Structure 1
Amino acid sequence: MILFIAGTSDARELAITLQEQGRQLIASVVTENAWKELQQAGIEAISGRLDAEQMQVFIAEQGVKGIVDASHPFAEEASKNAMAAANTANIPYIRFERKEQKFEDSSLITYVSTYEEAAEEAAKRKGTIMLTTGSKTLAVFTEKLLSNPDIRLVARMLPRKDNMEKCEQLGLPQKNIVAIQGPFTTAFDKALYRQYEVTCMVTKASGARGSVDQKLEAAKELGIETIVIERPEMKYQNRCSSFDEVIDYLHTFNL
């Protein structure tokens, strides 16, 4: 049994690939929607966040022999918990993470290391700031930007009930919420930026499957400034950026 931690669309594809090869796995996801998608694909899954201790209990109860961590590039806690649980249980840990994109240097792009730095940079600007960074760190931006009379803060996020409730709690007006699920094209992003008269867009360096290239290309074509949050630095064990690499590691560990 492999514990498969899923957090992206390509993670779902990897889980399907591994199962089709005859490997027994159970996926761990955060949201109910992700759980439903995996169930529909024939992948056994559990939903809800697991800390390191809960993972250790799950590993023991389910007889897990290895962990494949395909969580989102910015889900640091999930990866830290998975590595800690694997080390405690003395089982292999394999990290799959889509390649980080490299963009041409541009005066329109500002790179930062944290959400807090992104909020500080955004606060130096005026006009419409569009967030495409999800709901988890929304409070970092609302605290810094929402009361600024020179800034209209617009947040694009997944159309989930808990996201809408969080926006309401933080005081983000409904008219400034774009609740929609991708993937998106460059043309769509350009139309969205025009509709909201965006002057600055904030995003994360999630990789191609996170549609970052389309977001940046659309912003570049319209002359819109972009603040890009770089991936957190993590020392992963057995790091892979392709399905074949993951499979090779699984063969090495007889999984």
Structure 2
Amino acid sequence: MMHVCIFGGTTEGRLLAVFLSEFNVKADLYIATEYGEQFVKDLNNVNVHQKRLDKQRMIELFEKNRFDCVADATHPFAKIVSQNVKEAAEHCNLKYYRIVRETDKNEYPMYFDHIEDIISHLNNDEGSILLTTGSKDLDKFIAVNNYKERIFVRILPMESSLKKAVELGYSNKNIICMQGPFSEELNIAMMNSIGAKFMVTKESAASGGFEEKVNACIKTNAKCLVLKMAEEEGITLKDFKQIIRGKI
């Protein structure tokens, strides 16, 4: 039986795990958080591991198991993890596939290369902000003028995320803990309720609700500030599925 190692609690990682299960391919899926683990339970032939591995532990994992290949479906902004997976696979002469997202390009948003550029833009203007970039970057956005009052953060309903937001000084009344993706209507309702002049988000695929965010900004007359994904080489989930079909 073919055996695939997957890294990523992303939408792509979960969809890949479901696909392999349906095609009777054995898989080990490594997810960083307990939160992500709940979405991939009870899949035939798929073992889910909730743990973070550094490069050395990845090498040990690859040497111990007879994987046919490794699929890196980690988040596009998790560059260090991707680099570790790639280097560990190369060290073990294991075939490595980087699963890249098909992004939803849109003319309306303002695209930025760095978070610091977004912060500078926000500091040259006033108004409430709906921040949807996740808990990882919350520490950087405290550089926004009057952030405690201006920024409303939308993060996953995880204790660690909430704790981080509170410790960084974000106002309790401005913290929204919800699991997405969100509909256009819900985005509009949230933005109207806080009087948002800006939404800050990351470039993502349709599966991440990107189009719904952009449309909500258009309909509420808010600026949509988008952190661009860096260009990277790889194949789409659709292409990887075709490779697997050709091997089984």
**Do they fold alike, i.e. is TM over 0.5?**
yes
1:95 counterpart = 2:101: no
Contact 1:38 1:44 in 2 (8 A): no
Which residue of 10, 20, 23 corresponds with 2:22? 20
CA spacing shift, 1:183–1:251, aligned 2, 3 Å: closer
Task: Report the residue type matching 1:66 in the other structure.
Answer: C
Contact 2:16 2:237 in 1 (8 A): no
Task: Report the residue type matching 1:182 in the other structure.
Answer: G
Unmatched runs of 5 consecutive residues or more in structure 1: none
What is the count of residue pairs matched by the alignment?
245
| Structure 1 position 85, deviation (Å) | 0.9
CA spacing shift, 1:165–1:134, aligned 2, 3 Å: same
Unmatched runs of 5 consecutive residues or more in structure 2: none
- Structure 2 residue aligned with 1:70: 73
Give me the whole-angstrom Cα distance separating, in 2, the residues matched to 1:167 and 1:200: 19
- Structure 1 residue aligned with 2:6: 4
CA RMSD of aligned residues (A): 1.9
CA spacing shift, 1:173–1:41, aligned 2, 3 Å: farther
Contact 2:37 2:50 in 1 (8 A): yes
Task: Report the residue type matching 1:6 in the other structure.
Answer: G
1:246 counterpart = 2:220: no
Deviations 1:53-108 (CA, angstroms, capped at 9, x unpaired): 2111111122333101111222212211111111111111112222011112x3xx
Which residue of 199, 208, 222 corresponds with 2:206? 208
Runs of 4+ in 1 over 4 A off after TM superposition: none
Contact 1:133 1:204 in 2 (8 A): yes
Normalised TM-score (structure 2)? 0.92
Secondary structure at 1:53 match in 2: helix
| Structure 1 position 119, deviation (Å) | 1.8
| Structure 1 position 147, deviation (Å) | 3.8
- Structure 1 residue aligned with 2:122: 122
Secondary structure at 2:89 match in 1: helix
Normalised TM-score (structure 1)? 0.89
| Structure 1 position 19, deviation (Å) | 2.1
Task: Report the residue type matching 1:233 in the other structure.
Answer: E
| Structure 1 position 11, deviation (Å) | 2.3
Give me the whole-angstrom Cα distance separating, in 2, the residues matched to 1:217 and 1:192: 13
Instruction: Spell out the pairing of 1:1-255 with structure 2 (5 A cutoff).
Output: 1-42=3-44, 43-104=46-107, 106=108, 109-142=109-142, 144-145=143-144, 147=146, 152-234=150-232, 236=233, 239-243=234-238, 245-250=239-244, 254=247
Identity level (%):
27
